Amino acid sequence: MDKQTFLAQLRKGMSGLPQEDVEERLTFYSEMIDDRMEEGCAEAEAVEEIGPVEEVLAQIVADIPLTKLVKKKMKPKHTLKAWEIVLLVLGSPLWLSLLVSAAAIVVSFYVVVWSVILSLWLVESALIGSALSGVVLGTVFACRGNVLAGIAVIGVGLACAGLSIFLFFGCKEVTKGILRLTGKLLLALKTCFVKKEAAA
């Protein structure tokens, strides 16, 4: 693929983005290709090193703040006529309540997901605290002559320590997975605001 084809496909994929961002990104990638060609790469090789257009577009959309995309999408293409304003006002009890409900669902989803993560990490810290206090209390019991109770409490403390090690790795992986999931959901939400034009 040559430079002009790459930039044309990039422009078509960014058609739903604000114009200043489109021009800035096209200039950036054009200069990047030129720099690699100056270093001795062939044009097709320089374009190939940047990566597929789809990956570049996904990265561009991920870098642009969601608020900017929403503002661009919600900006009216023309001035509203009087009857359109009247319809918006009359319909506002319906569409406004639906909008608030949708926002509440999204926020509650994030709160539920992150409270599960928080709960897992709180259980992890409780197990670590139980392990430390079990060993300390067991030692105190053993020193005061209650050896069997001391050994039992130390055993419970060691069991909590073992469980906390396993749970740590589980919590770590679940947290990474949730971070990836929320990142993908945010990217999917952003791409909803970027209109995809059919390839010519």
Q: Is the pTM of this model over 0.75?
A: no
Contact call for residues 106 and 114 (beta carbons, < 8 A): no
Copy the structure tokens of residue 147: 């050896």
- What are 96-127's pLDDT values in tens digits? 899 899 889 988 988 998 899 999 999 999 99
- What are 153-175's pLDDT values in tens digits? 999 999 999 999 999 999 999 99
Phi and psi, residue 182, nearest 5°: -65, -35
SS3 40: coil
Contact call for residues 25 and 9 (beta carbons, < 8 A): no
- What are 53-100's pLDDT values in tens digits? 888 888 887 777 766 666 666 666 667 788 878 887 888 888 889 989
The count of residues in the chain is 200
In which element (H, E) is residue 52 found?
none
Instruction: Please report, for residues 20, 72, 117, 140, 194, the alpha-carbon distance to residue 64 in angstroms, rounded to integers and kept in the order given.
Output: 12, 12, 27, 59, 11
